Amino acid sequence: MHANILIQLLLNGLIAGSIYGMIAVGYAMVYSILRFINFAHGYIAMIGMYLAYTFSTLWGVNFIIACLLAVVCSGLLGLLIERIAYKPLRKTFYLAPLITSVGVSYSLEALALLIWGADVRSYNLHMDRSFSLLGARITEVQLIIIVVLVLSIALLAWLLKKTPLGIAIRAAADDFDMCFLVGVDGDQIIAAVFVIGSALAGIAGILLGMNTNLQTTIGLAVTIKAFAAIILGGLGNIYSCVLGGLIIGLAENLGIWYLPSVWKDAVAYVILFVILLIKPSGLLGANREAEVKL
Amino acid sequence: MTQMIFHLIILVAIYGILAISLNIIVGYTGLFSLGHAAFFGIGAYTSAILSLAGVSFWAAMFAGGILSVLVGLLVGFSTVNLQGDYFCIATLACGQVMNAVFTNWMSLTRGPDGLPGIPSPRIFGYTLSSLPSFALLTLIILGIVLFLTQRLSWSPFGRLMLGIREDTIAAESIGKNVSNVKIQVILAGAFLAGIAGSLFASYISYINPGDFDINLSILILLMVVLGGMGNNYGSLVGAFAMVLIPTVLLLAGLPSAFSGALQELIYGLALIALMLFRPRGLLGESHFISRSDRVEERETRAASD
């Protein structure tokens, strides 16, 4: 019986963790080029989650189309935020963009509260079938989540490795000024990174909503957990972000085996804190100065 | 009406102390802390629990400050060498963990139910239960705090704080122990925040974990940024504005669920607008040299050499 619970917790942890990992990837892409923590990233995931809800449940659009729309909107929202709140501050004191990103997060949460209210909601997917796997139960929704996650990460990996845009993004992460010298338009690269990262956050937000439920208050927790994932994995590449996310997801789900479930969020914070303490460059990371290669 | 005005004065004074305590960390030293509400909470809880157990007001308040310092010591030692944004996230995580402690240490804090019936302070045999007397107490403490922090900011130590904010490497290269200074600054901020928390608990007489969450940390930050980073009077002005906004929304008679979210929206947009249009804040000093200016300066110097 204990083994079954363990496998179930492992499974839940892996799914939650890979969602965190996916948010972390978008986060890390922005950080790799601008060297600034976009606090609002987790809040964009929250907005994406609710947009899909509005399109599908309130407006009656087919769920898949609603999700695609929501992902596109999240990407555009990311771009809008970058243009309004970050771009004008790119060359100022380092605290300035950090403070605006806190302001953006706060505004997004307030907007969500004003539009959708504080009640917990769900997508009403009516997909209740489940399969048994090594004694644990895996639901249809969870299977879909896993497929979408693997596909998105694979798509992103292809985009970064093979396309001209991806190569330009990696080059910009490597040396932004050098990129500029060889004729890559830095502003466009930054815009592309915000669109891609925010769209990924949108996808992850929807998956998170499918996995549990919809709350306007999850933005902060998601932001911190994704950051913890980056720190854990080290800013190495997209896979190390996903790995970091998996560790966080597993730790918080296995943690509630020993601890009351109210401490679930605190587990991620403590991990983050301890990692920052002993090895800020991450478990897999290079040293801080030469960090970040996507 | 007079009651209302005294109430506002007390709140402005308490939040003013709190904002000044963050200002010396964020404004003067450039350490971007997003967990400052934790120190306020520790002060409030410590002094509330001790007062309920019959300890005198001054002792309880002092104990609140000291416990804040002890926690600050832990936080300071572990985060002091983290760079800007990492420090920010680490302090945020500390704040969240501290809030989880307030919420879940049922036997001590009664969790989400909060602690009711915290007694008013008794000083020299007088119980300060009336609003004017409490306002006087908070104003006196605010005055002392303001005097001390102003002295601090003009002292050599204050110059060193500014130096660390402007250029940490330069401060290090002239032989200053930067980590040590940063820890001392965090401790001073933690102590003052603890004092403010203790005043808050004994004034409101009921506290719960929701009073000390991330929203408060952001609110204090907004006070500091609004008034002008690195300006103690500015923090006071910021505290005044941040006390006034909810009062105005309250008087406007909006439904509370709506006005809460509206308030959040105003705060969020204010932070963005301030950074875009007036990064120095209302009263701020122009200590912030933009990175591009500095590069330009270096280039002109290099060219002239």
Tell me the chain B residues in contact with residue A269 when contact means C-beta distances shorter than 8 Å: 93-94, 96-97, 100
Span B113-133, pLDDT tens digits: 878 877 777 777 677 778 888
Domain A2-290 in CATH 1.10.3470? yes
**Side-chain half-sphere exposure of A292, counting CA atoms within 13 A:** 23
Tell me the chain A residues in contact with residue B26 when contact means C-beta distances shorter than 8 Å: 95
Q: Answer whether B208 touches A (CB < 8 Å).
A: no
Ramachandran region, residue B124 (left: φ > 0; alpha: ψ -120 to 50; beta: rest): left
Q: Answer whether B249 touches A (CB < 8 Å).
A: no
Q: Which of A92, A101, A277 to mutate to test the interface with B (most CBs of B within 10 A)?
A: A92
Report which of residues A32 and B301 the model is more confident about: A32
B297 to chain A, closest Cα gap in Å: 14
Compute the Cα dihedral for B286, B291, B293, B299 and give only its sign: positive
Q: What's the pLDDT score for residue B286?
A: 44
Span B239-264, pLDDT tens digits: 998 888 888 887 877 777 788 888 88
Tell me the chain B residues in contact with residue A36 when contact means C-beta distances shorter than 8 Å: 85
Closest Cα in chain A to B264: A110
Q: Answer whether B77 touches A (CB < 8 Å).
A: no
Q: What is the DSSP string of A259-270?
A: S-GGGHHHHHHH
Span B177-212, pLDDT tens digits: 888 888 999 999 999 999 999 999 888 888 888 888
- % chain B with pLDDT above 70: 92
**Side-chain half-sphere exposure of B245, counting CA atoms within 13 A:** 18
Are residues B289 and A93, on separate chains, in Cβ contact within 8 Å?
yes
Average pLDDT over residues A162-187: 81
Average pLDDT over residues A242-256: 86
- Partner residue opposite A104 with nearest CB, options B92, B94, B272: B272
What is the C-alpha to C-alpha distance for residues B63 and B72, in angstroms, rounded to an integer?
14
Q: What's the pLDDT score for residue A287?
A: 45
Q: Which of A102, A232, A275, A292 to mutate to test the interface with B (most CBs of B within 10 A)?
A: A102
Q: Answer whether A120 touches B (CB < 8 Å).
A: no
Compute the Cα dihedral for B154, B68, B111, B130 and give only its sign: negative
Least confident range of A196-200, A211-215, B150-154, B280-284: B280-284
Residue B88 domain boundaries: 2-304
- % chain B with pLDDT above 90: 20
Say whether pLDDT at B277 is over 70. yes
Q: What's the pLDDT score for residue A286?
A: 47
Q: The CATH number of the domain where B172 resides is what?
A: 1.10.3470
What Rg do the C-alpha atoms of chain B give, in angstroms? 20
Are residues B218 and A102, on separate chains, in Cβ contact within 8 Å?
yes
Tell me the chain B residues in contact with residue A104 when contact means C-beta distances shorter than 8 Å: 268, 272
Most confident of the ranges A39-53, A129-143, B169-183, B264-278: A39-53
Q: Where are the domains positioned within chain A?
A: 2-290
The ipTM estimated for the assembled molecules is 0.83
Distance from the Cα of residue A87 to its chain's centroid: 21
- Report how many Cβ contacts below 8 Å link chain A to chain B: 140
Q: What's the pLDDT score for residue A284?
A: 55
Q: What's the pLDDT score for residue B192?
A: 93
> Residue A236 gets which letter from DSSP?
S
Rounded to the nearest integer, the mean pLDDT of chain A is 83
Q: What's the pLDDT score for residue A231?
A: 80
